[in-house]
Amino acid sequence: MASAVTPPPTSGGFDYQLGGAYPPPDGTTVVERDSTSDPVDGIYSICYVNGFQTQPGVEWPRDLLVPGDDGTPLVDPGWPDEHLLDLSTPAQRDAAAARQQNTIDLCARKGFRAVEFDNLDSYSRSRGAFTLDDAVAFATDLTTRAHRARLAVAQKNTADLESRGRDEVGFDFAVTEECDRFDECAAATEVYGPRVFDIEYTDDLRGSVADICARSATPAMTVVRDRDLVPRGDPAYRYARC
């Protein structure tokens, strides 16, 4: 871990607010918000950055995107308004990282304490355009840049990375989605100990919230949210924590 960064606390409560910012529930000690939002005063705030794919509505040069079969940029099947960054060569990775530097700087300038670079697993959707090793090289560059800005960095999902995320990339903690649902929590906690922040979703739970929280592998900083992560006050809002 870079000496200039501070990892998130591992007690209290976690909230994941990517669908819109709102006052966190009482007792929250860690909150994650999109880079377009502001951090929460007095609460350790993580800045969300779509590190390996394009953010909806943000244009990227076509030559930095993975081309599809018809020559148009390849989209993420689960998020058809997001294109995959082409990380296949050092030059491509350098150019993409230079563009992401602007968002890293924005997170630091706003006062976030950490950053999560999402879609580390995009290599698995790239149809062979680039590999896990290419993604690791890019993640290492992004993490180095974030550490220079005094931001801690989270590994997002990608359990098959094992300890490479901590030891090679330099990730300081992990943010996981549905590690209980897919029985992957132990893979994260074996590497990051209590510094694993998990989000489960109400539309696909493996039992009740009590069942999830009772499992020994479940990280202490686990929350259960509605799939769209809507703000509190929306009828679809759901939130529970272990």
pLDDT for res 3: 54
**pLDDT, tens only, 167-204:** 999 999 999 999 999 999 999 999 999 999 999 999 99
Single-letter amino acid, residue 204: D
- Cα 60 from chain centre: 20
**pLDDT reading at 2 higher than 70:** no
pLDDT for res 116: 98
Beta strands 44-49 and 114-117 are parallel
| Sign of the alpha-carbon torsion through 51, 54, 57, 60 | positive
- Distance CA(138)–CA(52), nearest Å, equals 9
Helices (H), 10-131: 90-110
Q: Tell me the CA distances in angstroms from 102 to 50, 58, 98, 160, one per residue in order.
A: 13, 13, 8, 29
HSE, CB side, 13 Å, CA atoms: give it for residue 12. 16
- Distance CA(214)–CA(89), nearest Å, equals 45
- Distance CA(2)–CA(160), nearest Å, equals 23
pLDDT for res 69: 87
Q: Tell me the CA distances in angstroms from 167 to 16, 109, 180, 195, one per residue in order.
A: 26, 28, 24, 15
Among residues 109, 126, 103, the alpha carbon closest in space to that of 49 is found at: 103
- Distance CA(221)–CA(168), nearest Å, equals 25
pLDDT band at 71 (very low <50, low <70, confident <90, very high): confident
**pLDDT, tens only, 151-172:** 999 999 998 899 999 999 999 9
What fold does the segment set 13-241 form as a domain? TIM Barrel (3.20.20)
**pLDDT, tens only, 75-133:** 999 998 999 999 999 999 999 999 999 999 999 999 999 999 999 999 999 999 999 99
**pLDDT, tens only, 24-63:** 999 999 999 999 999 999 999 999 999 999 999 899 999 9
Query: Where are the domains positioned within the chain?
Result: 13-241
The whole model's pTM is what?
Answer: 0.96
Single-letter amino acid, residue 69: D
